[in-house]
Structure 1
């Protein structure tokens, strides 16, 4: 089970953006693999901190996490557990700066010696429609996604064979070039991405004929999507690494799943509650009856007591939707509507006319119910 992201960075839920950044920097420095060589536990904590920072530093993701916890971010959130440390520093390396690495990790910038691992693939978006039962119980959806996938011929390298990749002669394999400029203040040194290899550190001399050197081809992948119970219309889930494949071995993008709710034939959603409008006849509410009503899980029988008034609301406890990352569950609310006949024959009319003057058929105030004027007085003083 994943730890709470605020706990990972040892910060409060009200922490500012600067406090989050400083906390991540501190934890990442503590557990960086260069300072904990061979320590797998430290490496996992380093990745865990990166995942926490990736979510809490993004206002939209942080809001979803605060509301729904890990479930609101999809299956695995960003999924840094499947990334190496170089990928993490390619995302967040600017937080540390060259001086930090010079002080702690053996002189010089970490980034200055790091080769770019290809170009990261773009994210993909898909829409998933769910019915009420799937939303209430969770579901696994299997879909086919058309996207860029890694080239099988060259295993994503983009080269025809092993000899088709050579160390870049411009940067010597570092992926970066240094330039020294003389100014009136003295010599100024700048480091830029190598223009010859685009930061790869290698160049392809013989391109793969299948992907033409990109390391990826357009294809299709079958993806199983586990959707937690309690999702809502408009919510977005994320599957790490299920987007477009990157170029020349670059990390794949993510698959963003947008949730859509299918309308139910009889029920309506109101937050965690389910609402059903029940129409009963005048005769049924006079004598009382038992009726069958639809629910998310099937049908249920409820008793309508004699004398039930139109507008009465019955509640079926726990028959609504569950809340994500919580034990809370909504109810089903049944609104009683007394149906008035529009066409009656002469015999029926005569019977009703006899009853018209009966005091039992005159509207009577409900015991304990406040009058209209009393309610208005309470509202406006």
Structure 2
């Protein structure tokens, strides 16, 4: 059956030109994911819908094959191959079908049998991890609430020792055909069987566990691997771990949306990490070597003489692993110079001597007697 024709402008959703590079698309995606993430907009349905659109757009534009089909045809999925105006495979099927429905009670098109195997629904849930887990990769156990086949009846819906019976009204087809004569000719319509609700089977003795439905709501546990370099907004697809299929159909898939928690020491920008370090004035003026914490151990950072506040230093290859590439990003260290608030008399004297040597004016240190004179005028 043809997939749905998609009319959304994915380039407009991500605010990128049609000739945008993969890296530009990724940057735009990250920006919008942070802005419209449900955690940043609790209870905001508009932001939630925007978040879903952003993920949908990125899933297509980040995949070269899907993007090529989207650029050529304007949608992703199976391309319709003609068909009758009444069988649902033509773009005009809904229009003609609705007209005939209004005149002849659904005679224009034939319904689908609900006894046919159907694929289970996909599931999506969020998986939160630490920056350390995203750095090195991790295996996490997740609990997935989903519908699964009833073990007591084996998914048949019938009490053990019994089995579903063929519906006598539809002969197991799940559909009933009605023929109607009109001034325009004879038309037939197919509707779901009312006796078996379109299932083709009736259950005389329903299973006591699932009440005849054949499925139960269960909490399914699964080990999931978070790949090194995972970032917020990454969608992991786990095939076959969605809802159970219907009438023997295959199960759906599970999509896990990764969210990396903020770190107290590092700020992330793609595969690059940023951190801050403070040194005292003599260290900045004369240069020094200081230890720097990274995600995989301690490194020594060389601060050259005369370093200024706000200056940055790059430790190459000490950032995050690249998810779909080789190597790692960099760690960018932002320097701040700490000014001491409380000085000893000797420290103050040394600084005053330095100020005098550099010919710069500073406040003189008032003595206790000077302060008393100033207080009493």
Please give the TM-score of this superposition, normalised by the length of structure 1. Answer: 0.63
Which residue matches 1:117? 117
Contact 1:288 1:304 in 2 (8 A): yes
**In the alignment, what sits opposite 1:63?**
58
Q: Which residue number corresponds to residue 266 of structure 1?
A: 265
Contact in 1 for aligned 2:156/2:163 (Cα 8 Å): no
Query: Counterpart of 1:154 in 2: which secondary structure?
Result: coil
Q: Please report how far the alpha carbon of residue 356 of structure 1 lies from its aligned counterpart in structure 2 after TM superposition.
A: 0.9
Query: For residues 308 and 156 of structure 1, what CA distance do their matches in structure 2 show?
Result: 72
Distance 1:95 1:198, change over 3 A: farther
Q: Which runs of 5+ in 1 are unaligned?
A: 1-15, 19-57, 71-91, 103-108, 363-381
Q: How many residues align?
A: 279
- Pairwise CA RMSD of aligned residues? 3.5
2:190, 2:81 → 1: CA distance? 17
Instruction: Measure the CA separation in 2 of the matches of 1:304 and 1:68.
Output: 43
The 5 Å alignment of 1:249-288 reads 251-288=250-287
Match of 2:62, SS?
A: helix
Once the two structures are superposed, residues 102-142 of structure 1 have per-residue CA deviations (whole angstroms, 9 ceiling, x without a partner) of 9xxxxxx9986783337x65554433221222212332211
Q: Is the 8 A contact 2:141 2:224 kept in 1?
A: yes
- Match for residue 132 of structure 1? 131
Q: What residue number does 2:339 align with?
A: 340
Residues 1:173 and 2:172 aligned together: yes
TM-score norm. by structure 2 comes to: 0.63
Counterpart Cα distance in 1 of 2:79 and 2:338: 68
Residue in structure 2 matched with residue 196 of structure 1 by the alignment: 195
Structure 2, unaligned stretches of length 5 or more? 8-52, 66-76, 88-108, 362-377
Question: Residue in 1 aligned with 2:315?
Answer: 316
Q: Distance in 2 between matches of 1:93 and 1:68?
A: 16
Q: Contact (CA 8 Å) 2:236, 2:257: kept in 1 or not? A: yes
The structure whose Rg is larger is: 2
d(CA) in 2 for partners of 1:314, 1:93: 51
Aligned partners of 1:68 and 1:324 also within 8 Å: no
Looking at structure 2, the residues matched to 59 and 184 of structure 1 have their Cα atoms a distance apart, in angstroms, of 52
Q: 1:261, 1:93 → 2: CA distance? A: 35
**CA–CA distance in 1 between the matches of 2:286 and 2:112?**
85
Question: Tell me, what secondary structure is at the counterpart of 1:349?
Answer: helix
Q: CA separation in 2, counterparts of 1:69 and 1:115?
A: 37
CA contact (8 A) 1:98 1:110 kept: no
